[in-house]
Structure formats: C-alpha cells, structure tokens
Structure 1
Amino acid sequence: MPAVFVLIWSTGFVVARFGMPHAPPFSFLSWRYALSCVAFAMWVRWAGAAWPQGRQQMLHLAVTGVLMHGGYLGGVWSAVKLGLGAGTASLIVGLQPVLTALWVSATGSEHRVSARQWAGLLLGLAGLALVVWHRLGLGEASLPSLTWAVLALLSITAGTLYQKRHVQPCDVRTANLIQLAAALVVSLPLALLEPQAMDWTGELIGAMAWSVLALTLGGSSLLYLLIQRGAATQVASLMYLVPPCTAVLAWGLFGEALGLRVLAGIGLTVAGVVLVTRSR
C-alpha cells in the first residue's frame, strides 16, 4: 500500500503540468472536489458505508479536509500556476517529514523520534535536495509563489498531525466525502474570483479525470488509511519518495534528464525512508 500511494501521489505534479496551462488553480480544484464528492457519494450509497459517529468527528474530518485538500493542493497548484517549477515545489513540500519529526519530538505526542530516525530524516532530505536541486533556476521563484508553496507545506503537515491526533478510525469513503465537501466550501469562493475561464481541452479533461479517479479516490484514500494505521513520522517519511518518483515519471513521459546525480539522490532517499519506517 505505501508503494502504490507514492506512485499515485507522484503523478500530481505531472497532472499539474498537463492541466495548469488550461485552467486557474481553484477553479480546477473546485471541479475536482465536486466530481469527487459525487463519486464518493455514489460509492457510499452503493456500499452502505457507515458514517462517522458524532458531530465532533465530522468536524474534525472537515478540518483535515480543509488542510489536506484545500490548503495543500491549493498551495501547490497556485505556486505552479505562478511559475514555480514542479521540482522546486516538491522540494519545499518535501520538508514535511522534518517538520513532522520536530513537532513529534517537541510535543511527545508519539514515541520520541530516535537518533536512527533523525539520521534517516536528514539522509532523506539530502537525497531529496540532490534529486530536485538541478531544477532550481534563477528567476523561477517569486515571493507569491514561494508563499503558496510554504502554505502547502504547512497545510499538509498540520493536516497529517491533526488527523492522527483527533480523527478516530472510520470508513475511508465517508471520511473522504466529508473532507472533500469541506475543501469545496473553501475553494469555490476563491474560484469565483479567478478571472481566467476553464479551457476544456483534451489535456485538461484527461488531467481532471486522473485527478478525480486516481489522485482523489485512490491516493487520498490510501493516505487516510496510512495515517490511520501508522505513526505520523513514518507516514510523513513516505513523502520523501514523491519527488524522486516524479523525476522518474518526468523522464519517461517528457524526456527530462535523469543523470547519475538524480539516481544517487533516489538511493539516498530510499535509504532514509528505510531508516525512519523500519520497526525498532
């Protein structure tokens, strides 16, 4: 399940490359959330899935939806729309495991992060930087785009920790439906303020279909299950594998260079994840 999650999650930057030239970020995401809500509602009704118990649990799920869908995806897609490269965005968001480990260590909310896990986190960060460093270009970043990327980083980190602490185990289908509905409530007013209209080209339709069926129904559901079953530090460390996997996908789909430096970075990243996630 972690390997499948990483592969699916890595396609998000590829989808952004296809979709962003034809749509503003929050309009695209509002369509994505709305279509995903319809799909999950049909799934829930067909399967008779159980709803979370209590209004408080639904509220907690709504908060995680705003953070992990609205804040994270809105930040990443807005940063890419403003010209920030996918590699740079993935590098910034890839700092999530470090923030998660720092929070866990400071609050003692889980087992304290061991020296071995700290070494793995630092090793993974080094590999992550090695993979995407060549994508950092002069003039690529701006204050607005960097602000959106940092917002995405803080949102996915806070959402992961909040869900692990406050959300009780429940059916992933109804949980996702609540999360997506909350994200839609936040993104739709922002979409109405965007001046650019949706240009429904074949690339945009394909990006939308993949975003709904694979990224939301598949990737988001897997992320929910991973957070529910694993420690926050272990789940966050999987994010280290996303930029290297994205680099491989970009090489296969778009012919982007995949040299020895990138391969070495992938090796360091995998080694770091193993150190963090293996059992004591």
Structure 2
Amino acid sequence: MKSIDTKAILMGVAFGIMWASAFTSARVIVQYAPPLHALALRFLVSGIIGILIALAIGQNWRLTRKQWIAVVVFGITQNGLYLGLNFIAMQTIEASLAAIIASTMPLLAAFASWAVFGEKIRPLGVIGLLAGVVGVVLIMGARLQGDVDLYGIALCAISVVSLTVATLAVRGASSGGNFLMVVSLQMFVGSAILWGPALAFETFDVTWNWQLAVAFSYTVIVPGLLATLVWFLLVDRIGATPAAVFHFLTPFFGVLIAAVLLGEKMGSMDIIGVLIITVGILAVQMSKQKPTSL
C-alpha cells in the first residue's frame, strides 16, 4: 500500500474542490438544457481539447493494455452512468444533496478493494470511514425530512455504485504514462455512450443565456479535464482506496459551493456532518501512513 504524502493530500484536496464544484455547474446546466445532450457535448468538447493538448506536449496513442481497458471501463462507468444519472437527477434534486450521496463512494470502494483485491484496512482507517458515514447520515437525515424527489435520490445511488467501479478500474491505468491522453480518450467513450439515449429520449430544447455558457465552459475545463487528470495521477500515486477517501470532501465543498452560488440551504446538521466527515478523513489518512522506524 502506497503512503499518503503532502503532495498527495494537496492533489486530493484540489480534486475534491474541483469535483464538488461540478454539482453546482451541472445544476445550472440542466435548468437550461437537456441533461444527456449537454453531457454528451461536454465530453466531446473536453475530449477534443484534451487530445490536442496531449499531442502538443508529446503524448501519444500508444497506451498499455491496462490503460485501454481503463479508458473503456472508466468512460462507461464514470462518464456514462455516474455523471449521466447525476445530470438527470439534478433536474429535480439540489446540487448539495447529489454531492452528499456521491461522498459515500469511499465506503463502497474500500469494501470492494477488501472483497475483490484483498486489501487490508487498519482499525483507525475503519473508524475514520465509519465516522465519514455518520457525518453523511446526519446530513442526509436532515435533508430527507424535507420535500425531496426519491427518484432523483435513487438515480444518484445507482450512479455512486458506477463511480466505485470506475475508481477501481483505474488501478494501474496511469502506470504507462500518457495521462492526459488516457483522460481525453475516456471522454470520447462517455460521449459515445450518451448520444444514443440523448437522441432517443430527449428533446433538444435549450434556453440560451450567459449562465448556461459560463456553467458549460467551466464544466468542460475544470471538472471535465483538470479534475479527472488529477484523479488519475492521485490513484497512481497512492492507490484506489486511499484516493477514494478524498471523496469525503465532496459534501463539504458541494454544500458550501451550492450555498454560495445557488443559495441552497446550509443547516446546522450540514455543518455538524461536515465536521465529523473531516475527522474521518484525517483518521483514514493517518491509518495509511507507514510506521516510522526508530
């Protein structure tokens, strides 16, 4: 198991902020455009930009077998299923709630890593993961007392399982280099997967305005390219299970950004839950550090 160092923590926090911000920009997009059309176009644009940059800095198409597998699996599970279902769900549920549901992914990833790959989790790490769950449950409990769309919640729950598969699928995916090329190609896979259902089930009804333009452009560049690239590098640096811990940052930044930019409610249970989740992150990080020899 690779240890978590300062650079990995900074990468994880940066990823957490960029990833959480995607829920707010997505919430804006789906208010003015059909979700699957918007997401399929986003991946197409992100993929083209990414490949052009990758070629310009000397990267190439010669990927390893593991990388090609990860391109396909990651493109289908994260871009097609996880984000596709989230975009549909955010037509009826708040961005902050979608972000909180997504933050449960580390538990699923840790369980799958233990069950499938035989990875061990130290007791402190288990306590940290459980603390994170408690924090999420507190937040969710308060939110579910209000008027929420259960169908939207169900879509988010299915999507987080897909994200877990995507997380485990990138194990070893970046070991052959060409990081940006790998990221860009999986964007094309996501786009290809989404165009079919978009054309079959949606009407291309768009309200053109500056809010849509800003939200779409931001989503293409920041969560679309930068966050995914940082995620690949982070998983390669410390492994899938410890990297998944940084998804616990999603509820804090997701709720905060949605509250600031969209005016979504941030209650006392949100704050308490976020504090507990933060303690959980610290515990898991400490559990991954190798003992220092005397």
**TM-score normalised to structure 2 length:** 0.87
Is 1:31 the counterpart of 2:38 in the alignment? no
Q: Deviations over 1:233-271 (max 9, x none)?
A: 211111111111122223322444444433322221111
Take 1:74 and 1:182, find their aligned partners in 2: how far apart are those partners? 13
1:73 aligns with 2:80: no
**Consecutive unaligned residues in structure 1, runs of 5 or more:** none
Match of 1:205 among 213, 226, 238: 213
Aligned to 1:130: 138
Residues 27 and 115 (structure 1 numbering): CA distance in 2 closer, same or farther, change over 3 Å?
same
Aligned counterpart in structure 2 of residue 237 of structure 1, from 231, 235, 245: 245
Equivalent of residue 48 in structure 1, options 47, 58, 81: 58
How far 1:54 moved relative to its partner?
Answer: 4.4
Assess, with a 3 A threshold, how the Cα gap between structure 1 residues 239 and 49 changes in structure 2: closer, same or farther. same
> Could you tell me which residue of structure 2 aligns to residue 252 of structure 1?
260
**Percent identity (aligned):** 25
Task: Give the secondary structure class of the aligned counterpart of 1:233.
Answer: helix
SS at match of 1:164: coil
Tell me how far apart the structure 2 counterparts of residues 28 and 59 of structure 1 sit (CA, whole Å).
Answer: 26
Q: Deviations over 1:80-136 (max 9, x none)?
A: 12x1333332333222111111112223443x1121111100101112233454333
2:54 and 2:181 in contact (8 A); partners too: yes
Q: Distance in 2 between matches of 1:196 and 1:169?
A: 40
Q: Deviations over 1:180-220 (max 9, x none)?
A: 11111101111112124232221111111001111112111
Amino acid at match of 1:35: V
Q: Which amino acid aligns with 2:188?
A: A
State the alpha-carbon separation in 2 of the partners of residues 165 and 48 from structure 1: 21
1:1-280 paired onto structure 2 within 5 Å: 1-54=11-64, 57-81=67-91, 83-110=92-119, 112-143=120-151, 145-164=152-171, 168-193=175-200, 194-278=202-286, 279-280=289-290
Distance 1:147 1:259 in 2: 23
Tell me the amino acid that sits aligned with residue 191 of structure 1. A
Q: Is the 8 A contact 2:42 2:220 kept in 1?
A: yes
RMSD: 2.0
List structure 1 runs of 4+ shifted beyond 4 angstroms.
Answer: none
Offset at residue 222 of structure 1 (A): 0.9
Cα drift, residue 33 of structure 1 = 0.6
Deviates more, 1:118-127 or 1:131-140: 131-140
Q: Compared with structure 1, are the counterparts of its residues 167 and 258 closer, same or farther at alpha carbon in structure 2 (3 Å cutoff)? A: same
How big is each residue's C-alpha offset from its partner over 1:58-90, in whole Å with a ceiling of 9 and x where there is no partner? 233222111121111101111112x13333323
- SS of 2:59 mapped into structure 1: coil
What secondary structure does 1:113 align onto?
coil
Any conservation in 2 of the 1:80–1:89 contact (CA below 8 Å)?
Answer: yes
- CA displacement 1:14-71 (0-9 Å, x = unmatched): 1122111111111010110111012112202211213343456323322211112111
Counterpart in 1 of 2:7? none
Q: Residue 65 and residue 52 in structure 1: after superposition, are their counterparts in 2 closer, same or farther (change >3 A)?
A: farther
CA contact (8 A) 2:171 2:236 kept: yes
Between stretches 50-59 and 118-127, larger displacement belongs to 50-59
Listed as ranges, the gaps of 5+ residues in structure 2 are: 1-10
Contact 1:16 1:80 in 2 (8 A): yes
Secondary structure, aligned partner of 2:171: helix
CA distance in 2, matches of 1:109, 1:164: 14
Distance change (3 Å), C-alpha of 1:233 and 1:57: closer
